[in-house]
């Protein structure tokens, strides 16, 4: 997952009328802002997309994204927008998450390439980004405080 400051090669995978979509094929240099994400599921799960940035920068870029979506895409003329008020806690701050159940869990590339025989298993977790029929089984979520993990059996 990219963050501002990363230097990469990108392969265009979809051309649209007003923009291109691409995927990273090679990292040349990582941003100096990049940090190690706490979650073992980061980058696979669709729950948290900015965990590889310090929390204050997450807020800054989320605010920029909201402004950009409203002005550029929505064509809303903003007289001004209040800054995002962050949580006092960097983790375990959400008051709502939508867990998904499935009888066919998604296996990560590491699990598939491990050579271990994979069985169909139940899953409780989150959708893989862009693949809403695929569910990643989550061991522990750092977004919502207890009793969420205990209730979900995570």
Q: What secondary structure does DSSP assign to 85-105, as a single string?
A: ---S-SSS--S----EEESSE
pLDDT, tens digit, for every residue of 2-23? 999 999 999 999 999 888 999 9
Please tell me the predicted confidence (pLDDT) of residue 152.
66
pLDDT, tens digit, for every residue of 45-91? 877 888 999 999 999 999 999 899 999 888 888 888 888 899 999 99
Local confidence band at 29 (pLDDT 50, 70, 90 cut-offs): very high
Q: CB 126: neighbour CB atoms within 10 A? A: 24
Give the CA-trace dihedral at 29, 24, 130, 13, to 10 degrees: 160
Local confidence band at 153 (pLDDT 50, 70, 90 cut-offs): low
**Among 111, 140, 136, 141, which residue's Cα sits nearest to residue 122?**
136
Distance of CA 60 to the CA centre of its chain: 16
Show me where the domains of the chain are located.
1-33, 35-152
Region 116-128: what's the mean pLDDT? Answer: 82
């Amino acid at each position: 997952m990219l963050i501002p400051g990363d230097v990469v090669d990108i392969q265009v995978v979809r051309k649209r009328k007003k923009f291109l979509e691409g995927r990273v094929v090679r990292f040349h240099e990582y941003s100096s802002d990049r940090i190690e994400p706490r979650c073992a599921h980061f980058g696979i799960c669709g729950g948290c997309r900015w965990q590889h940035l310090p929390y204050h920068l997450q807020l800054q870029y989320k605010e920029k994204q909201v402004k950009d979506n409203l002005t550029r895409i929505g064509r809303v003329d903003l007289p001004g927008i209040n800054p995002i008020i962050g949580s006092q806690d960097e983790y375990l701050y959400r008051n709502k998450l939508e867990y998904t159940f499935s009888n066919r869990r998604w296996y990560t590339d590491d699990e598939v390439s491990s050579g271990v025989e994979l069985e169909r298993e139940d899953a409780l977790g989150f959708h893989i980004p862009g693949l809403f029929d695929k569910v990643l089984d989550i061991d522990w979520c750092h977004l919502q405080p207890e009793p969420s993990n205990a209730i979900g059996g995570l």
